Structures are given as structure tokens and as C-alpha cells.
Amino acid sequence: MLSYRHAYHAGNYADVLKHLVLARTLEYMIRKDKGLLYLDTHAGAGGYRLGDAMAQKKAEYRDGIGRLWGDGKIEALAPLMQVLDGLNPDGRLAYYPGSPVIAAQLLRPQDRLRLFELHPSDRELLGRNFASDRRVRVEGSDGFASLKALLPPPSRRALVLIDPPYEQKEDYQRVVRAVLEGYRRFPAMTCLIWYPVVARPRIDEMARGLCRGGIRNLWQTELGLAPDSDGYGMTSSGLFMINPPWTLAEQLREALPELVERLAPEQGRWMLEQLVGE
């Protein structure tokens, strides 16, 4: 089943956390001259026009990036906001980049991007977005399998983003299996694994699976709009992070309380924890 379209959710609070972490991680990793492989297992369409019908249907961006646009007070958001400024030169927030566009904007000529997307409509849009970028290869195959196929890269440097829609319950464990396979092949990879908190036991099971799998330097962070609930819908957004930049933890400790204050001052919550040390 391929029904999920990220355009309905572009720029929401989950994107804010995910893209803050992604932009900061890329900013750190490109300080070394050697080329970097960016691997995106569920790339979506690449970028989204916020005036289009899908983005306007729920307009989730208004309570996400919309509340932060034009506000330079959260220092950790600076790399992401610089990308947004460049893509919205008239000062009006009309376009929100997905992870592939953010990566392409920050990466260099010597870096390479491998983008995977199974949804045919989003894959077509993704291909159009990068048709003239020789660094980028778009593929319509299973992104989970790419970790086994592409790791380790020749450069021995890789940033992997795993961001599935979790349409099926099995996706949670598919993520764990794919990550452990990639880690066995290339323990030095930096890996960012996004997840929605809809049912807390599923996230706890993911954490146990990653910890039992022998991963080192494993972190977990979350940004939530409300406490955990047995009801329908996502209450928090989170990331497991393997081998993140050593600077990232302090950046998140400063940024997350401010994001809660801006996005959910009454019931918001945040967390940052190292699950396994180096």
C-alpha cells in the first residue's frame, strides 16, 4: 500500500525537529573535505509548495515552521533557516524543502545523493526536482534494501536518513532490521531514524531492538505537542541517532525547550538521551 503523501504534512513540527537535526548534522559532516554519501530511504517528492491543495488541506505548517519563520532567535535552526531563506527569496514562506532538497542545498560538488521513493507520483516529482543535478540519483526501489547494497561507500563516509511513513505496524521492525544490517556493514555511518509517537510501546520496542543489536553511540530525541495518549494521532515526533556529531547534543539541549515554548507552550514536551555510549 502506497497511500502516504508527505505534502499533507510538509513543514509541521515533526519536520522542524527532523530537519533541524539533519541540517546541523550535514553542516558538521561537510567540514571534512572528503566526499560524503547522503542516502535517503524514503525521499518523498523532495520539496513542497505550501499554497498547493495538499499542503493547504490541513495546513500543518502553520503550527510548525510557520511559527518560526522570520525568527532568528533559535540558533540551532540557523542552517535550516538559511536554506529556507534561499528558497523563499521574497521573504514569504511559499516553499518548504523536504530532506532531499535540504541535503542538496548544503552538500558540495564532491558529495553524492542516493534518493529512494516507491510512490510513483512522488518519485516523478522527485526526479523532476533533481533532473539537472549530476550529484543525485533517484531510484524507485526499496529504500530499506539500499543500506545493504550501498554501505560502506567508497568514501567511507555516509549519512543515512530513514524516514518511512509507518503506514503498517511492521514498518517499525523493518526499520530496526534495516538499521542493524547497515550498521553491521558500516558501523561508522551516521544514521538518523525518524519515528512518530502514536503508540509508545512500538517506540520502546524499537529502542530495545537497536540497543540489543550492538549499536554504539546511540541517542534518542523527541519533540511533543501533548503527552502520550491511547487516542488516535501523533502526539510526539522523534529521532534515533547513531554516531551523531558531538556538537549536536548541546545544540538540541538549547533548542528543544525554546521549540516547546514556541510550538506547544501548555502541553509540549521534549527529551534527549544517550541510550548507548561510545
Provide the residue type at 63 as one letter.
Answer: D
**Taking the complete model, does pTM exceed 0.75, yes or no?**
yes
Active-site positions read 163
Q: Give the CA count within 13 Å in the CB-facing half-sphere of 218.
A: 20
Q: Are 45 and 7 in contact (CB under 8 A)?
A: yes
The model's pLDDT over 174-213, given as tens digits with 9 standing for 90+, comes to: 999 999 999 999 999 999 999 999 999 999 999 999 999 9
Structural element, H or E, at residue 179: helix 170-185
Please report, in range form, the residues annotated as the binding site for S-adenosyl-L-methionine.
19, 42, 99, 117, 142-143, 163
The model's pLDDT over 232-262, given as tens digits with 9 standing for 90+, comes to: 788 999 999 999 999 999 999 999 999 999 9
The model's pLDDT over 28-62, given as tens digits with 9 standing for 90+, comes to: 999 999 999 999 999 988 888 888 888 788 888 89
Ordered structural domains, the chain, with CATH: 6-276 (3.40.50.150)
What percent of the chain shows pLDDT beyond 70? 98
Please report, in range form, the residues annotated as the binding site.
19, 42, 99, 117, 142-143, 163
